Structure 1
Amino acid sequence: MIKAVTFDVDGTLVDSVDFHALAWHEAFKHFGHDVTFEQARSQIGKGGDQLLPTFLSEEEIADHGEALEQWRSKRFKSAYLASVRPFCAVPLLLQRVRDAGLKVAVASSAKEDELHTYLDIAGVTKLVDMTSSSSDADNSKPAPDIFEAVLAKLKLKGSDAIAVGDAPYDAQASGKAGMECIGMLAGGFTEESLRAAGCVEVYPGPAALFARFDASPIGAFKQR
């Protein structure tokens, strides 16, 4: 029997992936790098420590990587954060998890202040038992650090929890932490890419998982 469900946030609970991609695209352009919106979008789900090396050399990262990431963060907060909205049925889904007797956790590559803002936007702050963010990990997704951090806080091993995320990086990271992962199409990644990364099941979004909760991997795992 599992004891907790650990959710990603961007693209899983809130509709923010395109806004993050825009902010990254603009940040790269501001610092003289030709990274398209589509290229940036394909990397959303990673933290800056994993995303920057995809597009910049070690020398470029050493020279202005930190400044670029700070510019990106300020741009996102000033131009796009106010437009972020939750996906349908997010509070209902998290409450359903709690009603099943399971802990609700959040494991995100977002910065801690952004994470708590997202939980407020989604209206689920009081439904979350434990969180981990980029500040809890040396390396962001697809490294397992963020999932391992929240498992440690919950005092659980990987097989005691199941992850829910929208990106292949969620499945890769949770798998390395010993967890199985449910995929969400809400973040814009394909079902093929999510299953190839290790997702055991894929749903359109939180409302679909809520509607099929008892037949979902969460319900099946809970009965083991």
Structure 2
Amino acid sequence: MTPTTPARPDAPATTVDTVVLDLDGTLVDSVYVHVLAWRAAFAAVGLDVASHRLHRAIGLGGDRLVTHVAGDAAERAVGDRVRALHDEDVERRTGEIGATDGAAALLEALRGRGLQVVLASSGAKEQTEQLLDLVEGAHHLLHEKVAGADAEASKPAPDLLEIALESVEATRAVTVGDAVWDVEASRAAGVPCLGLRCGGIGTAELLEAGAVAVYDDPRDLVDHLDEALALAAETNRG
């Protein structure tokens, strides 16, 4: 399917015109690689940070993560070094990362319904491009891509999402993400969020954060896409 594929004639009416997707844990199965990379980076500077704390922090902007899991003093002393070590380790581990189940199919299904499809990733632009290579056709199926450097404040602030929405002049949008931080950023932007469990965060946590519905992974969302979009449309009308 190409970016010029017209909307299906049998597609249901919807008030959603744009879908903004997260990358890590949503389109690519990278969350646990990030956990390992952060843990190794902290260990390299003499800090022992538990994996479960790191897992729950994935999705935060890198500028926030060190403070979140290790405190202000660690950020001041070694924050930049830890981030650099993490990024280097993720780059070395790219071969261990693959697309989540149904990632490409989800992008195709959204385009097939005539929706604008935008990526909003907290990661660096170069890393974002490399990870998108893992999702077949992603570069051609996305209307726009925004990365962490495009925003003044990282997730859970809404800045990145607001830039993504402005990039396509969205009027009625929904987001798709796997982390509590994705949901919180969506709420702050006034946009409903569809949660995915494939990043390792459970249904209860995502719903408590404000997700309007939760699905296993992109494949599961594709299987329920029309009802998910209808739910998002109803939330937008509300």
TM over 0.5: yes
1:101 correspondence with 2:111: no
Candidates 82, 97, 113, aligned match of 1:84: 97
Candidates 152, 162, 166, aligned match of 1:152: 166
C-alpha separation in 2, matches of 1:126 and 1:101: 15
Q: Which amino acid aligns with 2:125?
A: E
CA contact (8 A) 1:105 1:131 kept: yes
SS of residue matched to 1:14 = coil
1:213 correspondence with 2:233: no
Structure 1 residues 63-110: Cα deviation after superposition (integer angstroms, max 9, x where no partner): 2211111011101111x1111000122111111111111100111111
C-alpha separation in 2, matches of 1:143 and 1:111: 17
Candidates 182, 186, 190, aligned match of 2:198: 186
Candidates 74, 84, 88, aligned match of 2:88: 74
1:173 correspondence with 2:207: no
When residues 172 and 222 of structure 1 are mapped into structure 2, their CA distance, relative to the original with a 3 A threshold, is: closer
Structure 1 residues 144-182: Cα deviation after superposition (integer angstroms, max 9, x where no partner): 11101111211224xx11000000100000110110000
C-alpha separation in 2, matches of 1:47 and 1:61: 13
1:44 correspondence with 2:30: no
1:11 correspondence with 2:25: yes
User: RMSD between aligned alpha carbons?
Assistant: 1.4
**Structure 1 gaps, min length 5:** none
1:135 correspondence with 2:156: no
- How far is 1:220 from its partner? 4.3
C-alpha separation in 2, matches of 1:89 and 1:145: 28
1:35 correspondence with 2:49: yes
1:121 correspondence with 2:95: no
C-alpha separation in 1, matches of 2:33 and 2:72: 26
SS of residue matched to 2:186 = helix
TM-score, structure 1 as length reference: 0.94
CA contact (8 A) 1:50 1:139 kept: no
- How far is 1:222 from its partner? 5.3
Identity %: 33
